[in-house]
């Protein structure tokens, strides 16, 4: 079943399917590496951030590779595929490079080189967001999709962009923890701070809204756009409530 699904994904978008699979293997390799590399950064393995970014990129590549099959403008699809591939791969390389050195990739302005790396990642993310705005425009023009599924993709992309731009709030503060310094005791793998506010929670919920809303739209509200719209509003309000709570310095639970 999984093989059949991946072959279909590969038919839809070979570049993003194969690259996503490669990054998944990188994720597994890094997970094994953490067993042998004892180095820590802010209380977690130096490989924790690359791990999260590689698996998250796999999910994102496979998601947009799947949904873009319905866009008739194949030149635009290739442009988005190649652009997103290059931009996010560039960010992953920079994150990996800093992890090798045992340094923070984000919020690190301790030297001119570290500042340049952090600034470059910000530029790459901004350019990537422009690709997703273009994707939102293209999806909105497709008339052959079930309305509920299409609405789920649209809302997912909008919340994805909002969640992505929330990252600039963290960049402006040079930290993600509210009420304490970064590096507090956090939840396994995700690292969200247990005792203080953490801006990464809303960031996570926003970035993965595309998967949540598109899948919900397809499986539950395919021909009921008003229901997926309501679901999307509730999802965004819930996420925003968590952001407000984090800004007050309060933990998720």
Distance CA 211, CA 160 (A): 10
Strands 44-45 and 40-41: what pairing?
antiparallel
- pLDDT reported for residue 189: 86
- How far CA 52 is from CA of 24, 151, 229, in Å, comes to 11, 28, 29
Residue segments in the chain with a per-residue pLDDT below the cut of 70: none
- pLDDT reported for residue 253: 80
- pLDDT reported for residue 231: 98
Q: Angle, to 10 degrees, between the axis of helix 112-141 and the axis of helix 74-100?
A: 160
Q: Over the range 201-234, which residues count as b (16 or more CB within 10 Å of their CB) and which as e?
A: bbbbbbbbbbebbbebbbeebbebbebbbebbee
- pLDDT reported for residue 191: 86
Q: Residue 45 phi/psi, 5° resolution?
A: -60, 145
- pLDDT reported for residue 35: 95
* Residues constituting the chain: 253
Beta-bridged to residue 198, according to DSSP, are: 177
- How far CA 222 is from CA of 9, 29, 118, 149, in Å, comes to 20, 38, 41, 5
Query: What is the per-residue pLDDT across 42-54, written as a single tens digit (0 to 9) for each?
Result: 889 999 999 999 9
- pLDDT reported for residue 228: 97
Q: Could you tell me which of 91, 84, 93 has the C-alpha nearest to residue 63?
A: 84
Beta-bridged to residue 177, according to DSSP, are: 198
Query: What is the per-residue pLDDT across 69-113, written as a single tens digit (0 to 9) for each?
Result: 999 999 999 999 999 999 999 999 999 999 999 999 999 999 999
């Amino acid at each position: 079943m999984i093989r059949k699904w991946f072959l279909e994904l590969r038919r839809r978008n070979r570049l993003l399917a194969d690259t996503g699979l490669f990054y998944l293997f990188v994720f597994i390799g890094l997970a094994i590496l953490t067993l042998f590399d004892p180095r820590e950064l802010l209380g977690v393995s130096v490989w924790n951030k690359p791990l999260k970014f590689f698996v998250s990129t796999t999910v994102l590549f496979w998601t947009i590779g799947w949904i873009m099959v319905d866009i008739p403008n194949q030149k635009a699809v290739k442009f988005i595929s190649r652009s997103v591939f290059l931009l996010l791969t560039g960010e992953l390389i920079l994150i990996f490079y800093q992890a090798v050195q045992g340094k923070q990739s984000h919020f690190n302005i301790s030297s001119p080189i570290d500042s340049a790396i952090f600034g470059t990642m910000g530029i790459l993310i901004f350019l990537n967001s422009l690709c997703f705005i273009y994707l939102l425009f293209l999806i909105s023009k497709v008339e052959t999709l079930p309305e509920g599924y299409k609405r789920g993709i649209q809302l997912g992309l909008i919340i994805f962009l909002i969640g992505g731009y929330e990252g600039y709030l963290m960049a402006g503060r040079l930290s993600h923890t509210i009420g304490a310094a970064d590096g507090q005791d956090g939840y396994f793998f995700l690292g969200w701070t247990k005792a203080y506010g953490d801006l990464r929670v809303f960031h996570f919920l926003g970035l993965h809204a595309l998967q949540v809303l598109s899948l919900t739209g397809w499986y539950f509200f395919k021909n009921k756009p008003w229901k997926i719209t309501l679901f999307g509003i509730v999802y965004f309000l819930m996420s925003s409530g968590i952001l407000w709570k984090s800004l007050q310095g309060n933990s998720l639970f």
